[in-house]
Amino acid sequence: MERLLDINEAADLLNVSVMTIRRWTNAGKLKCFRVGGKRERRFDVKDLEAFLHDSKDHRLKPLGFGGARVPDGSHMTHFFAGKEEALRVAMPFLNEGIGQDESLLVVMPPERSSELFENMERQGHPVGSWLESGRLSVSTGMDSPEDMVRYLTDFAAEATEFRVLGDMTWTVRKGWGLEALSALEQSVPLVAPVEKGLLLCQYSLEEFTGATIMMAAECHQETIYKEKLHKSPYCIH
């Protein structure tokens, strides 16, 4: 047998986060060997290559811009400067979700969701009918990380496929500090353990502190910056 890869090497080969590898192995979707007293995961390259080419087990979902695609269950962040940049990612992300027949949830302060929907309507997207039919839901967020996780879990449980878009300034409006926001971001990946949704958190570089931006970089598998998708080098999960 060839040398077995560790979990970091397997994540690099499949171009996903270590957390995604753990989730796939825990669910029995990806074969691994357990070695040593700590039963650390090890992977055969042939198993990884077979998994990579099996579209049934390794589904990639389009984000709606730049040809970017990510695995189901991805938890991403978008760092942006200015509302126009935020809209250029948010609008195609939601529109792609409708095209994929997914349930959508937008979590934003009221004036920001209104502005987003008005811009989408001007581009010809029937946001009003999406709201009336229940394909699109809107929230201003919950009062605590625990309540928000429960809310997201309930939303995910009722949807066949879904995507969530959050302008994280809603947490500021709720009076949250960095500790509460970090607790939410670390819990959110548990919302979609069966890999049937995407979660995108938008952070304004003009409105959040450097400490908050660094926390977001550590808590997300992928980062979108200047409308391009990057695998986060700082993700600690």
pLDDT tens digits for range 63-102: 999 889 888 888 999 999 999 999 999 999 999 999 999 9
Residue 107 located in a structural domain: yes
Q: Quick one: average pLDDT of 155-181? A: 95
Mind listing the pLDDT tens digit for each residue in 133-143?
Answer: 999 999 999 99
Q: What is the pLDDT of residue 194?
A: 46
Domain span holding position 47: 7-52
pTM equals 0.77
Q: 128 and 34 share a domain? A: no
Mind listing the pLDDT tens digit for each residue in 13-35?
Answer: 887 778 778 878 887 888 999 99
Residue 30 located in a structural domain: yes
Q: 133 and 69 share a domain? A: yes
Judged on CB neighbours under 10 Å (0-12, 13-18, 19+), 191 is buried
Residue 2 located in a structural domain: no
- Structure confidence at residue 190 as a pLDDT band (50, 70, 90): low
Q: Quick one: average pLDDT of 169-174? A: 98
